[in-house]
Amino acid sequence: MNLPNKLTLLRVVLIPFFLFFMYVDIPFHYAIALVIFGAASITDALDGKIARARNLVTNFGKFLDPLADKVLVIAALSVFVELKEVNMSAIPLIIITAREFMVSGLRLLAANSGVVVAAGIWGKLKTAFTMVAVVAILFWLFLCSDLSIDFPEAFRNAVDNILVPVLIWISTILTIISGAVYLKGYWHLIDSDK
């Protein structure tokens, strides 16, 4: 197994550890989850660059890399919906998950037609922004819960009720745009007569 595939596999392996530390009630559990998510995000940035630079692109990597990204992000957002400390409704999670199913379906149709669906700029931007948003929210949880910093109430309310939802909704909007771009680009593969 080459280095990019090992990095992708590492990202998959880190997901259960991330979830464990999001839920376990030990000191600095959000800090540990933040480090794990950050490390997983870095592997996402590295594996593709290394694979392309060293000509190490494989079918395994093409399959697992986008799957690992999807599971990592959906795992984080699912936990945020459940946590009382994060002001996030299930609606963005449903939209983001639906987009991921749609793009995966398009990739499957494309593969059956011999077409490779490469990651576009909107998809990369969506993934990058969402990962940065998750890191920012985890950092906020670390400050408020792990360190128990007593921020002024107005500031805390602004972050909890404005900044966090705005980050989530920007991710959701980028998700919708990237999904629409994929759908438009590969609409010809969806033929109701076939």
Closest of 72, 74, 86 to residue 39, by C-alpha: 72
What are the pLDDT digits (tens) for 158-191?
999 999 999 999 999 999 999 999 888 888 777 6
Token readout for 152 is 């002024």
Dmax (CA) for the chain in angstroms is 62
Residue bearing tokens 């590295």: 46
CATH number of 3-189: 1.20.120.1760
pTM: 0.90
63, 107, 108, 135 from 189: Cα distances, Å: 20, 10, 10, 36
Q: Which residues, 6 or more positions from 90, have their beta carbon under 8 angstroms from its beta carbon?
A: 81
Confidence at 141, pLDDT banded by 50, 70, 90: very high
